[in-house]
Amino acid sequence: MEKIRGFEVAKGFEDKDIHLPVRKTKYSAGYDIEAAEDCIVPSLKMGMKPTLIKTGLKAYMGEDEVLCLYNRSSNPGKKGLILANSVGIIDKDYYGNPDNDGHIMFAFFNIKEEDIKINKGDCIGQGIFEKFLIADNDDAQGERLGGFGSTSK
């Protein structure tokens, strides 16, 4: 079978019982993504960095595609979790990068007063594969050399 787009377990997580994302209904746009391990998302304090929740996953896709990471609709109200970047963007060239093999993580802030525990296997968000367009005068020639947050470096 030709690989067009999908998910794989990232290096270092092969023996961690990682579940590949699934859509729960035939008309769902998003693939539900689980936490790869237990973790705590501390209550937000001014100046703190977001908590990165590991998924143990990487994603492959076509040249004109992107994987967008979205929060679960229930997370802000029930758990106080909001995505630090509103929407996470996973580019095609993030897959298999030398820094972290393309390991996907969700960056969360917790707006509740108490710390929130995320358990391994909890659904933390969803991923939607989307097509994108290139502008007429585009001449991007750079190549990704790193992992999380490396696009402009």
pTM of the model: 0.90
Could you state, in chain order, the average pLDDT of each consecutive group of 10 residues for the chain (153 residues)?
Answer: 95 98 97 98 97 98 97 96 97 94 97 98 98 93 64 54
The reported pLDDT for the residue numbered 141 is 80
Convert 116-140 to b/e letters by CB count within 10 Å (16 or more is b): bebeeeeebbbbebeeeeeeeeeee
The reported pLDDT for the residue numbered 142 is 74
The reported pLDDT for the residue numbered 120 is 98
The reported pLDDT for the residue numbered 153 is 53
Domains of the chain plus CATH, in order, are: 6-131 (2.70.40.10)
The reported pLDDT for the residue numbered 147 is 58
The 3 state secondary structure assigned to the chain is: CCCCCEEEECCCCCCCCCCCCECCCCCCCCEEEECCCCEEECECCCCCCCEEEECCEEEECCCCEEEEEEECCCHHHHHCEEECCCCEEEEHHHCCCCCCCCCCEEEEEECCCCCEEECCCCEEEEEEEEECCCCCCCCCCCCCCCCCCCCCC
The reported pLDDT for the residue numbered 149 is 60
Please name the residue that has the structure tokens 């998910």: 7
The reported pLDDT for the residue numbered 152 is 54
